[in-house]
Amino acid sequence: MSHKAGFVSIVGKPNAGKSTLMNALVGEKMSIITPKAQTTRHRILGIVNHEDYQIVFSDTPGIIKPHYALQETMMHQVSGSLVDADLVLLVTDINEKYDESDAIEKLQGSLAPLCVIINKIDKSDEETVKAKVAYWQEKLNPKAIFAVSALKEHNVLAVMNFVIEHLPEHPPYYEKDFLTDRNDRFFASEIIREKIFKIYEKEIPYSTEVIITAFKEGDELYRISSEIIVERDSQKNILIGKGGETLKRVGTYARKDMEELFQRKVFLEMFVKVIPDWRQKKNYLKQFGYES
């Protein structure tokens, strides 16, 4: 039985509904969704694993910010992720005016099949949808155009089927079993860890472990408590920073990412705890999931 796998680049202006579409597409089948930069080219949002296929959805950050002077380097990176995409999904908001010229320009460099997704049709009418479809058809002549409401999950399945159909035959890029048992707690700790790597230098990130001690899911709000474990008091002081400022930054950035990921408000608590030389101690390594 042949196996399909490929990178699907999701392109679109920041408020076009990319993350809502991602969540709808990936849904329950999702194994992993993280804003971490996995490679220089792709920012991976979600991986969908199935016996017969693996879809790696990736975002191309900063492509379409029409208000900024776009730096060359950023554009190279974007073009890169479009060049080695196997499929490109352009997500547009039905109520946007046709000012997607910078997006269109970027797409010229891509040979991958293109699919245009007109989102938020629940806030529109049939006539507008038809006009928009005709506009994109003429403008880009894509492989397919889908009018969807990511929020109401209308027509999302059709997009998913299109993606699966257009994936190339390829073995999986990521181990399948490794990714399937990751849960929200794991992503919460990964997000905090990522911020620690970004904000602190030298040995701090490497001597740090993040444990989620409580994860309470409410309809409106997630309450998450975490412990950041370090090996020495000096590291604890650096981590907390003067008057707690540095740790507060970690919390602010982490909370923002979590809210985007879980699509909920997040209340985040962080405590710093010293466990001398935890990396040398088998019982702690085991407790933190490093050894079976």
Residue 123 assigned as binding residue: no
Residue 59 assigned as binding residue: yes
Q: How many CB atoms are closer than 10 A to CB 42?
A: 21
Residue 122 assigned as binding residue: yes
Residue 66 assigned as binding residue: no
Residue 95 assigned as binding residue: no
Residue 19 assigned as binding residue: yes
Q: Do the Cβ atoms of 25 and 44 come closer than 8 Å?
A: no
Residue 275 assigned as binding residue: no
Residue 6 assigned as binding residue: no
CA angle 184, 186, 188 (to 5 degrees): 70
Residue 119 assigned as binding residue: yes
Residue 37 assigned as binding residue: no
Residue 60 assigned as binding residue: yes
Q: Which residues contact 269 (CB under 8 A, 6 or more apart)?
A: 223, 224, 225, 226
Residue 13 assigned as binding residue: yes
Residue 61 assigned as binding residue: yes
Structure tokens at 218: 């409410």
Residue 243 assigned as binding residue: no
Structure tokens at 62: 């900063």
Residue 141 assigned as binding residue: no
Residue 10 assigned as binding residue: no
Please classify residue 162 by burial: count the beta carbons closer than 10 Å to its beta carbon, then call 0-12 exposed, 13-18 middle and 19+ buried. middle
**Alpha helix segments (H runs only) across the chain:** 18-26, 72-83, 101-107, 126-140, 156-165, 176-180, 184-199, 233-240, 245-262, 282-287
Q: Which residues contact 112 (CB under 8 A, 6 or more apart)?
A: 9, 82, 85, 86, 87, 88
Q: State the Cα–Cα distance between residues 10 and 19, nearest whole angstrom.
A: 10
Residue 17 assigned as binding residue: yes
Binding residues, by number, are: 12-19, 59-63, 119-122
Binding residues for GTP, by number, are: 12-19, 59-63, 119-122
